[in-house]
Amino acid sequence: MSEFNIKVTNICFSYPDGYEAIKDLSFDIRHGESVGIIGANGAGKSTLLMILMGLMFPICGEITIDGVLITKNTLPKIRQSLGMVFQNPDDQLFLSTVYEDVAFGPRNYKLDEEEVCNRVCDALEMVGISHLKERASFKLSDGEKRLAAIASVLSMQPEALIMDEPTSTLDPKARRRIIQLLNSLHHTKIITSHDLDMILDTCERVIVIKEGRIAADGKTKDLLSDETLLDHCGLEMPLSFQKRRST
Amino acid sequence: MSEFNIKVTNICFSYPDGYEAIKDLSFDIRHGESVGIIGANGAGKSTLLMILMGLMFPICGEITIDGVLITKNTLPKIRQSLGMVFQNPDDQLFLSTVYEDVAFGPRNYKLDEEEVCNRVCDALEMVGISHLKERASFKLSDGEKRLAAIASVLSMQPEALIMDEPTSTLDPKARRRIIQLLNSLHHTKIITSHDLDMILDTCERVIVIKEGRIAADGKTKDLLSDETLLDHCGLEMPLSFQKRRST
Amino acid sequence: MHMADALISPIVGGTMLAASTGVAAYSIKKVQKDLDEKKVPFMGVMGAFVFSAQMINFSIPATGSSGHLGGGMLLAIMLGPYAGFLTMASILLIQALFFGDGGLLAYGCNVWNLGVYTCFLAYPLFLWVTKKGFNSKRIFWGAMVSSLIALQLGAFSVVLETLFSGKTELPFGVFVLLMQPIHLAIGVVEGIVTAVIATFVWKARPEVLEQTANGEPIGSLSIKRILVVILVAAVLIGGSLSWFASENPDGLEWSMEKTAGSTELETEDEIHQALSRIQDKIAILPDYGFSSTNEGDTKPEGVLSNERIGTSISGIVGGFLTLILAIFIGFLIRFFKKKRRVSLKK
Amino acid sequence: MSKINNSLYNIRLLDDLAQKESVVHKLHPLIKLLTTLVYLIVVVSFEKYDISALLPLIFYPVLLFSISELPVIPILKRVLFAMPFIIGIGIWNPLFDTQIIIVAGIHIARGWLAFFSLVLKCIFTVTASILLIASTGMGPLSHALRMLKVPKIFILQLTLTYRYLSVLMEEVSKMMRAHSLRAPQQKGIHPAIWGCFCGQLILRTFDRAKRVYDAMSLRGFHGEYPAGNLVKPKVSDFVYFISWSVFFILIRIYNLSDLMGDLFIEVIK
Ligand SMILES: Nc1ncnc2c1ncn2[C@@H]1O[C@H](COP(=O)(O)OP(=O)(O)OP(=O)(O)O)[C@@H](O)[C@H]1O
Ligand SMILES: Nc1ncnc2c1ncn2[C@@H]1O[C@H](COP(=O)(O)OP(=O)(O)OP(=O)(O)O)[C@@H](O)[C@H]1O
Ligand SMILES: [Mg+2]
Ligand SMILES: [Mg+2]
């Protein structure tokens, strides 16, 4: 694996209707770092992730990945090294069975079928849903769908993982499993979530976004225990930091 | 408001493809109680709620609400007293504006327009989104959509509220607001969630479901601090009960 | 192949609107009568599906082009003729309003061209092909044949409606030669796509297709009735359109004569010959035309009145003045509104 | 992909615009619909070669634009998207209608006049339709349809189609996005999985239809929906309708361009 740095310089972005979702963001992510991106509903987290993936282009500013500027021409190559899990797993699973869905990525890279099969089985194993291999993806429960979506990205063996709320709708056990999985992977990771406890468990560093701007960027432990900062950004301390209130 | 008891006796249910999602469940819910239904992904929680609402019929066993057995004939009357918030608010908001959506229920009961208007305004007021009255429902943010869906149920003035994961995808602040709303209502409430801290804050009683069967039924505080039980059912203690592990 | 407002005359638009409204009223009656209310949301969401599926392009191998779904046949297959027709009608309304595809005046034409043929003429064909029960082969041929026929009829209607409206000089033969083969190709794509989706649905949810095919009372008797309805409509439309077609050019000439002051009455053909002769002359003697520029009112004899067709000097000058005036007034209003807003803020 | 995003954007845009609060937006939807219809009929009723007589009808869109404060450029862009078919058919006019006439001293085929008149009509009609929806919105427009006695079942179905349009299109666009991420080198969707792709979408559509129906029936829906009271138009609404109609008809009868041109030439002389 090569050095893999993401450098975002002064990007801003407006939706076609003129809504300014991202305003002058800059940060650097070094190879192997895992970074949590948090903020209130509508802060611009998903928008930021889409821009990182080159699904939308910033209006000003630039993004380089591994020194390569993201442009229309460099995209196909860059995307090969990035894997993204969407907020809604239904958007990510479009084939009939779980196996087909997870095999879709590797097959597109023209790997031979044996290699594809290996990768698929590994990925399913990793998220712990090998038993669902032949099930139809649309009949799964919500949580199972999410796990399948994560597997479909892992099978592509990307160098960086970008995940939009990977643990919402998961039951506590599955959530814990994903946390452990994330901690066992040495990829560069960028994760958004409203589950600040999960962020606390998986990310060393946190970027807090408020209305399209960076409100804070620093060590997870420091930021997530700063009650005034969090409150100011429409957030709350992780539940495990909070004392039980009387019910 | 009359006495309003829900009595579920030995129900079981299979999906058309033969999958047995509910196996011999029985429980009673008394008027004014608030009950959390928890369990791992795929345990059968959503299926149970749908059966309670009469959207699907159990294969064996029976459900009586207020002494009336749920059948095709009694359904219209029974539904008038039950309000359900779906897992996905997009399924629940199907008209053009928030106002129209919230007015849909009352209008179907042939109330006159003035009464409809009063109820709509009250419901919007209660969840705190009066300002969104004339907005198009599909352009709201996720959180606002969920609040509108709740209002659309409140406007029917049901005697019981049934909610499927009301706080997923909400940011911590919005989640707190919903919890407060739920605590201020004195309806009979049945709530499913993977957010056990939320259940802890809103429900006195909890029913734990495992693979379509009841694994435990009792006081929330007792069950949610029983680590072996929870672990056995694919769950974990609420985060606020857990000590911070070293990262 | 949506008809546009600009291409039709009010009479053609009105007649077609009346005809389509008739079919729609009948469909609504049918739908309301033997419909479980479940179908209403199903219709709505299916309409949205067809709308969005039209946006999914797929590459057609070896041609470098791409195709997508049209949708009329699919709606009929999934929902049955009456509900399918109504759904198509609402899709077309949304397209007319939001996308300028078709238009409000041409709405009747479009509903007729894209809805009536698919749901009431081609769909019975599909049913007939698959009457011995569904399998992939029958679904394929049923979808293919019915899509081809529906599209050919639709395209032909576009030709007729345009010609009857008298907005284009395209001769009937050329127009037909342009439209039909293109729509043959489109029909093949439509047929394949419809078949693929219908087969998929049949495999995953057989009950959807089967209920629709059995539940809809398009028995032999109803087919006859529908054919009679269509026939009557066709005669009515044909009659009124041909009346209009024969009347309209005369009306046009009449008004031309009136304004041009010429009393000669010529048949269309004679005019045409005369005109082409003059045209030759003009080509040889280019100076000929300049006479009209000397004086706003003088016009070369024998040539159609420039005044009437709005090309006299005053027409041109006035046209420009109108444009400038309109835009000026527009800006003026905006300007004052802005000013007022600013002063209000203060 | 870009097409679907474009359509989504278009719907969103028109929807946003309909939320504005100008004088035009406050008019009764039925009145606006009828005015638009009269306008369309008048535009289309002009003869094939009329250009100058047609031109004064530009006052309607221009005045609407400025009074309603709708943005001109995005709406005109939409209008351009509707042009290709018209141009495709209209362009044959100069080829077949080669009768030469003289316009301001220039010899051109009469067909060009027909062509330009057709293009002008197209611009006028499409602009008027889009202005209608941009100043009214789908909700009020269904209100107008109800007043025209369009059956409720059709309107409910229209509303649902419209509502789920953006939901499904968004779903499609996200699916295509996911596809493009895992098949970065490929343009478009391979025909081999296209069927599966659409099929998946349609199955989801079925499920969604069922859930929507469930949600409706839980709130007492039984096939008939009483959609609330109808609001009657006010006197000012009628005044709006009548003054525009009179204006349109006057323009239809008198060639305003000619009159103005004559006047102008007189003055110059
Ligand atoms: N297609 C769009 N057009 C216009 N505005 C949009 C669009 N998509 C999102 N927005 C707006 O951009 C802002 C940021 O949206 P984004 O989805 O990035 O939020 P988020 O931080 O991911 O929120 P959440 O926590 O709810 O997922 C929101 O205010 C939203 O209303
Ligand atoms: N339409 C269906 N056909 C067949 N099986 C189904 C269907 N819907 C759900 N199931 C199965 O029934 C079981 C229970 O599903 P249900 O949706 O009730 O789970 P849940 O407890 O709500 O899970 P989650 O926490 O993920 O929402 C799951 O194992 C699921 O795979
Ligand atoms: Mg997001
Ligand atoms: Mg569930």
What type of residue sits at position B173? K
List Cβ neighbours of B59 (8 Å cut-off, separation of 6 or more).
Answer: B12, B13, B14
Bridge partners, A136 (sequence order): A97
What is the Å distance from ligand 4's center to B194 Cα? 10
Q: Strand, helix or coil at C157?
A: helix
Q: Strand, helix or coil at C61?
A: coil
- What is the 3-state secondary structure of chain B? CCCCCEEEEEEEEECCCCCEEEEEEEEEECCCCEEEEEECCCCCHHHHHHHHCCCCCCCEEEEEECCEECCCCCHHHHHHCEEEECCCHHHHCCCCEHHHHHHHHHHHCCCCHHHHHHHHHHHHHHHCCHHHCCCEHHHCCHHHHHHHHHHHHHCCCCCEEEEECCCCCCCHHHHHHHHHHHHHCCCEEEEECCCHHHHHHHCCEEEEEECCEEEEEEEHHHHHCCHHHHHHCCCCCCCCCCCCCCC
Nearest chain A alpha carbon to B247: A201
Q: Strand, helix or coil at A25?
A: strand
Q: Given a cut of 50, is residue B207 above it in pLDDT?
A: yes
Distance CA D74, CA D87 (A): 21
Which residue's alpha carbon is at the smallest distance from atom 14 of ligand 1?
A44
Query: B115-168: per-residue pLDDT in tens?
Result: 999 999 999 988 878 888 887 777 777 778 888 998 998 898 888 899 998 888
**Count of A-D CB contacts under 8 Å:** 58
**Burial zone of C86 (CB within 10 Å; 0-12 exposed, 13-18 middle, 19+ buried):** buried
Torsion (CA) C188, C190, C191, C196 in degrees, nearest 10: 130
Antiparallel, parallel or unpaired: β A34-38 and A188-192: parallel
**Of the listed ranges A226-230, C281-285, D52-56, the one predicted with least confidence:** C281-285
For all residues of chain B together, what is the average pLDDT? 86
Number of domains in chain D: 1
Distance CA C70, CA C187 (A): 9
Mutate to test the interface with A, among B165, B240, B243, B246 (most CBs of A within 10 A): B240
CB count in 10 Å sphere of residue B204:
14
Reported confidence tier of residue D185, pLDDT bands at 50, 70, 90 = low
Q: Given a cut of 80, is residue A80 above it in pLDDT?
A: no
- H helix runs in D27-109, sequence order: 29-45, 59-68, 72-81, 83-90, 92-96
Contact criterion met (CB < 8 Å) for D10 and C98? yes
**Of the listed ranges B36-40, C11-15, D131-135, D258-262, the one predicted with least confidence:** D258-262
| Boundaries of every domain in chain A | 6-89+160-246
CA angle centred on A34, ends A32 and A36, rounded to 5° = 160
- Single out the residue of C49, C321, C309 nearest to residue C201, CA to CA: C49
pTM of structure: 0.75
CA distance to C88, C120, C218, per residue, from C215 (Å): 20, 16, 9
> DSSP characters for C221-282?
HHHHHHHHHHHHHHHHHHHHHHHHHHHHHHHHHHHHHHHHT------HHHHHHHHHHHHHHH
Nearest chain C alpha carbon to D165: C48
Reported confidence tier of residue A79, pLDDT bands at 50, 70, 90 = confident
CA distance to C10, C12, C252, per residue, from C248 (Å): 12, 12, 6
Q: What is the DSSP letter of C50?
A: H
* Token pair belonging to A170: 């998961």
* Token pair belonging to C14: 């009105």
- Single out the residue of C55, C54, C48, A94 nearest to residue D5, CA to CA: C55
Cα end-to-end distance, chain C, whole Å: 53
- Single out the residue of C4, B109, A108, A170 nearest to residue D43, CA to CA: C4
Q: Using a CB-CB distance cutoff of 8 angstroms, which residues of chain B are in contact with residue D226?
A: 107-108, 110
Of C281 and A104, more confident: A104
Q: Which ligand is nearest to the CA of A169?
A: 2
Distance CA A124, CA B144 (A): 35
- Single out the residue of C28, C331, C6 nearest to residue D223, CA to CA: C28
Topology annotation, domain A6-89+160-246: Rossmann fold (3.40.50)
Q: Using a CB-CB distance cutoff of 8 angstroms, which residues of chain C are in contact with residue D107?
A: 282, 286, 289
Q: What is the model's pLDDT at position C271?
A: 47
List Cβ neighbours of B172 (8 Å cut-off, separation of 6 or more).
Answer: A194, A196, A234, A235, A236
Structural domain boundaries enclosing D88: 19-136+234-269
Q: What is the model's pLDDT at position B12?
A: 93
Q: What is the model's pLDDT at position A36?
A: 94
Contact criterion met (CB < 8 Å) for D169 and C52? yes
Q: Chain A residues contacting D, CB < 8 Å? A: 16-17, 53, 55, 75-77, 79-80, 83-84, 86, 88, 90-92, 94-96, 104-105, 108, 138, 152, 156
Residue with tokens 């009250």: B122
**Do C154 and C92 touch, CB atoms closer than 8 A?**
no
Q: Given a cut of 90, is residue A214 above it in pLDDT?
A: yes
φ, ψ of residue A206 to 5 degrees: the values are -130, 140
Residue D244 belongs to some domain of the structure:
yes
Of C246 and D211, more confident: D211
Reported confidence tier of residue A17, pLDDT bands at 50, 70, 90 = low
| The length of chain D, given as a count of residues | 269
Distance CA B202, CA B184 (A): 10
Distance CA D155, CA D185 (A): 44
Distance CA C125, CA C133 (A): 14
φ, ψ of residue B159 to 5 degrees: the values are -90, -15
Strand (E) positions, chain D? 100-103, 106-109
The tens-digit pLDDT sequence of chain C (346 residues) is 577 888 888 888 888 899 999 999 888 888 877 665 667 778 888 888 888 777 776 655 555 555 566 788 889 988 888 889 999 999 999 888 888 777 888 899 999 988 998 888 888 888 888 888 888 888 999 999 888 888 888 888 888 888 888 777 777 777 788 778 878 888 888 888 888 888 888 887 787 777 777 665 444 445 565 556 556 655 555 555 444 444 443 333 333 334 333 333 334 445 445 544 444 443 333 332 333 333 333 334 444 444 444 456 666 777 777 778 777 887 777 777 777 777 766 5
Distance CA B190, CA C69 (A): 44
Q: What is the model's pLDDT at position C263?
A: 35
Mutate to test the interface with C, among D258, D259, D266, D268 (most CBs of C within 10 A): D258
Q: Using a CB-CB distance cutoff of 8 angstroms, which residues of chain A are in contact with residue D13?
A: 16-17
| Boundaries of every domain in chain C | 5-261+284-289+305-345
* Token pair belonging to D184: 């970065």
Mutate to test the interface with C, among D117, D122, D160 (most CBs of C within 10 A): D160
Which residue's alpha carbon is at the smallest distance from atom 6 of ligand 2?
A139
Distance CA D175, CA D1 (A): 10
Class of domain C5-261+284-289+305-345 (CATH, top level):
mainly alpha
Element (H, E) at D133: helix D110-136
